[in-house]
Amino acid sequence: MINRRNIVGAGLLGAAGAAAAFANPEVAQVLAPAKINRNRRKFNMVTTWPKGLPGLGRAAERVSERVYAMSDGLMEIKVFAAGELVPAFESFDAVANGSADMYHGAEYYWTAKSPAFPFFTAVPFGMTAQEIMGWIDFGGGQELWDELSGQFGVKAIQGANTGHQMGGWFRKEINSLDDLVGLKMRIPGQGGDVLRALGGSAIALSGGEIYQALQTGSIDATEWVGPWNDYSLGFHREAPYYYGPGFHEPGASLAVGMNLKVWESLTAGEQAIIKAACESTNHTSLGEFTYQNSVYLDLLVREHGTQLRSFPPEVVKAMSEAAYDVRAASGKDGIEKRIYESFEASLKLMRGWAKVSDGAYYPARELGK
């Protein structure tokens, strides 16, 4: 049964509230229905990846999808493949000068801006995927990255990781150091510096340019990522020898970079959404690459006759020695020196744990075959 007294009482209270609101604007603000700020934000993201590329290209799309979902559709990122808005290697400048809002790419592509950028992707004989995540998130790496990128008007965050990469595709076998002399290879970052130190020629090419260069003989060898992404670009059709592991990129971290003014215009909540989307994509990609590389390595060997090879010990030793010198040369002073010193200190620390954990476990696991 409806209680008429309650209805009348409620009406009187409502009338009293309305009267108080008219009499006092402050009361009106308290009684008014809450207004939710639902500003819509749209961003353009340029990438360094060929259109439709699995793994790397998919990671950029995942960041976009997760930002959209977590913001209930209020934040929208439109992803452009390399060349659709700007060439791959111009992505950083496009974001820095504001002609694009964001990029997804590899920081070692910006080595000309600073020799310290490769530390935030991968350096030869450096950190594995887990280790670079540890350094950036917990060892002071992100703060140094912010300082470095901030000089160019960019805010960068980890946005994917390929895990351990392969050493590359070669037309001819590498049996000694002599085979590296004069070798023309697509290899970026400090890995390219190591090859130059050993007498080879390192050539910078974006992903979409590599196959033709390999096909025409403009290059003798190329590295890219690993079996999954390499298969999609068809390198196995032009070079029969697949060398591993890739000492030049033991755990390549990819980045999402955002124009710093655009980043600072976001609310704390919006920044948190972008960070969360990048972090989840970073973790998802590592598991995805680990599994898919296993699938495609088997496919390449079993169905396409790919010949797996390891670099000879003398080549590995020479690469390791050159890598140490290359890393040291990139951190001579200023922010570069502080990044180098932080990286090396964290690497030394984590090597101790790796030696008694993964390093000891993998050989032991093989005993049970």
Confidence of residue 30 (pLDDT cuts 50, 70, 90): very low
Give 230-247 pLDDT, tens digit per residue. 999 999 999 999 999 999
Q: Are 340 and 327 in contact (CB under 8 A)?
A: yes
- What is the C-alpha separation between 166 and 300, in angstroms, rounded? 13
Cite the annotated binding site by residue number: 165, 186, 223-224, 249
Cite the annotated binding site for Na(+) by residue number: 224
- What is the C-alpha separation between 323 and 192, in angstroms, rounded? 10
Find the range with the poorest average confidence among 9-13, 46-50, 151-155.
9-13
Residue showing tokens 């130190």: 197
- What is the C-alpha separation between 225 and 227, in angstroms, rounded? 7
Average pLDDT along the chain: 92
Q: Is the whole model's pTM more than 0.75, yes or no?
A: yes
- What is the C-alpha separation between 358 and 97, in angstroms, rounded? 43
Residue 265 has pLDDT above 80, yes or no: yes
3-state secondary structure of 149: helix
Q: Are 83 and 208 in contact (CB under 8 A)?
A: yes
Alpha-carbon separation of residue 335 from 114, 144, 149, 233, 338 (angstroms):
10, 8, 11, 37, 5
Ranges of H-type helices in 305-333: 313-329
Question: What's the rounded mean pLDDT across residues 240-269?
Answer: 98
Confidence of residue 182 (pLDDT cuts 50, 70, 90): very high
Radius of gyration of the chain (CA): 26
- What is the C-alpha separation between 212 and 83, in angstroms, rounded? 16
Element (H, E) at 308: strand 307-309
Residue 224 has pLDDT above 90, yes or no: yes
Q: Sign of torsion, CA 147 149 152 156?
A: negative
Confidence of residue 39 (pLDDT cuts 50, 70, 90): confident
- What is the C-alpha separation between 335 and 149, in angstroms, rounded? 11
Please calculate the CA angle 188-191-196 and round it to the nearest 5 degrees: 95
What is the dihedral angle through the alpha carbons of 104, 264, 132, 45, rounded to the nearest 10 degrees? -10
Residue 38 has pLDDT above 50, yes or no: yes
Paired residues of 221 in beta bridges: 170, 185
Question: What's the rounded mean pLDDT across residues 293-307?
Answer: 98
3-state secondary structure of 113: coil
Residue showing tokens 């699995």: 54
DSSP state of 88: G
- The CATH code for residues 41-166+247-355 is 3.40.190.170
Q: Are 357 and 351 in contact (CB under 8 A)?
A: no
Residue 37 has pLDDT above 90, yes or no: no
Cite the annotated binding site for substrate by residue number: 165, 186, 223, 249
Give 52-100 pLDDT, tens digit per residue. 999 999 999 999 999 999 999 999 999 999 999 999 999 999 999 999 9
Name 116's Cβ contacts closer than 8 Å, sequence gap at least 6.
Answer: 148, 330, 331, 335, 336, 339, 340
Q: Are 50 and 57 in contact (CB under 8 A)?
A: yes
- What is the C-alpha separation between 185 and 166, in angstroms, rounded? 14
- What is the C-alpha separation between 129 and 110, in angstroms, rounded? 20
What tokens were used for 355? Answer: 């030696």
Element (H, E) at 147: helix 141-150
Give 301-349 pLDDT, tens digit per residue. 999 999 999 999 999 999 999 999 999 999 989 999 999 999 999 999 9
